[in-house]
């Protein structure tokens, strides 16, 4: 499979105004680092980078950055998106050596209806959506697809159950990490009838306070009436 090529140019001007001008011209500000080279500020073709991030392999896609000085393999390490318009604002690229193993995170997708849901009325929960592996750049899988049909209530799909080729890749994530499981539907426990009757028979706190306040007010009125009579006497 032929490697994707992303057109790029070196940029010397920095700042918000320069970044804005680049975006208007159909380019996205970027920086490339790693490997044996120094960090370098670039401007990439926005459409090409967007197409890579929206592809099946996403940010794990290995492509060539085409500069005037030559081409070099790279991959997207991080990116920033406008929270309102959804446009790319900046991209970080990492140089890649095709003969050096690297660590990447690969998404996990499941298929099938678990028996614990179909026959036992349980609930299927996806706990972990990606795992970290170590492999050569050219052998990074697009995804891990796992059949969860046999999952019953109380059983788990763990990272160690994923279909990894041990000859090509190594699992970096904890092998016991739960990827997905089926749990029983939780039903709220009803209170016994005796407990409900006891709660109903207990007088509410505000009524006691109100009654005590009323008695105090009546006592003050009685004292007020008795005071003038004693003075007259």
Q: Are 110 and 178 in contact (CB under 8 A)?
A: no
Q: What pLDDT is stored for residue 175 in this prediction? A: 95
Q: What pLDDT is stored for residue 123 in this prediction? A: 93
Q: Compute the average pLDDT of residues 119-143.
A: 93
Q: What pLDDT is stored for residue 18 in this prediction? A: 76
* Residue 157: HSE in the Cβ half-sphere, 13 Å Cα cutoff: 29
Which residues lie below 8 Å from residue 53, measured CB to CB, with a gap of 6+? 59, 76, 79, 88
What topology is assigned to 103-183 in CATH?
Answer: RNA Polymerase Alpha Subunit; Chain A, domain 2 (2.170.120)
What topology is assigned to 4-97 in CATH?
Answer: Ribosomal Protein L25; Chain P (2.40.240)
For residue 232, is pLDDT > 50? no
For residue 190, is pLDDT > 80? no
Lowest mean pLDDT among 7-16, 56-65, 70-79, 198-207: 198-207
Lowest mean pLDDT among 71-80, 89-98, 140-149, 188-197: 188-197
pTM for the predicted model, two decimal places? 0.68
Angle CA(159)–CA(149)–CA(174) in degrees, nearest 5?
5
Structure tokens that stand for 103 in this block:
């660590």
| Identical topology for domains 4-97 and 103-183 | no
Q: What pLDDT is stored for residue 17 in this prediction? A: 74
pLDDT class of 65 with cuts at 50, 70, 90: very high
Q: Where are the domains of the chain?
A: 4-97, 103-183, 193-232
Q: What pLDDT is stored for residue 69 in this prediction? A: 82
pLDDT class of 233 with cuts at 50, 70, 90: very low
Please provide the average confidence, as pLDDT, over all residues in the chain: 82
């Amino acid at each position: 499979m032929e490697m994707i090529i992303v057109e790029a140019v070196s940029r010397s001007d920095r700042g918000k105004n320069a970044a804005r001008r680049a975006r208007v011209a159909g380019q996205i500000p970027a920086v490339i680092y790693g490997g044996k080279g120094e960090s370098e500020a670039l401007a990439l073709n926005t459409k090409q980078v967007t197409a890579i991030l929206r592809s099946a392999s996403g940010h794990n896609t290995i492509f060539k950055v085409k500069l005037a000085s030559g081409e070099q393999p790279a991959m997207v390490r991080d990116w920033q998106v406008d929270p309102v318009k959804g446009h790319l604002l900046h991209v970080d690229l990492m140089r890649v050596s095709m003969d050096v193993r690297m660590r990447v995170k690969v998404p996990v997708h499941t298929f099938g209806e678990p028996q614990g849901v179909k026959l036992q009325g349980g609930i299927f929960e996806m706990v972990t959506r990606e795992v970290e592996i170590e492999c050569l750049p050219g052998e990074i899988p697009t995804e891990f697809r796992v059949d969860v049909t046999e999952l019953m209530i109380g059983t788990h799909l763990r990272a160690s159950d994923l279909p990894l080729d041990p000859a090509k890749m190594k699992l970096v994530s904890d092998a016991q990490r739960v990827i997905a499981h089926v749990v029983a539907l939780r039903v709220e426990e009803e209170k016994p009838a005796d407990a409900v009757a006891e709660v109903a028979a207990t007088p509410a706190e505000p009524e006691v306070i109100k009654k005590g306040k009323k008695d105090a007010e009546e006592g003050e009125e009685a004292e007020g009436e008795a005071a003038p009579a004693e003075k007259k006497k």
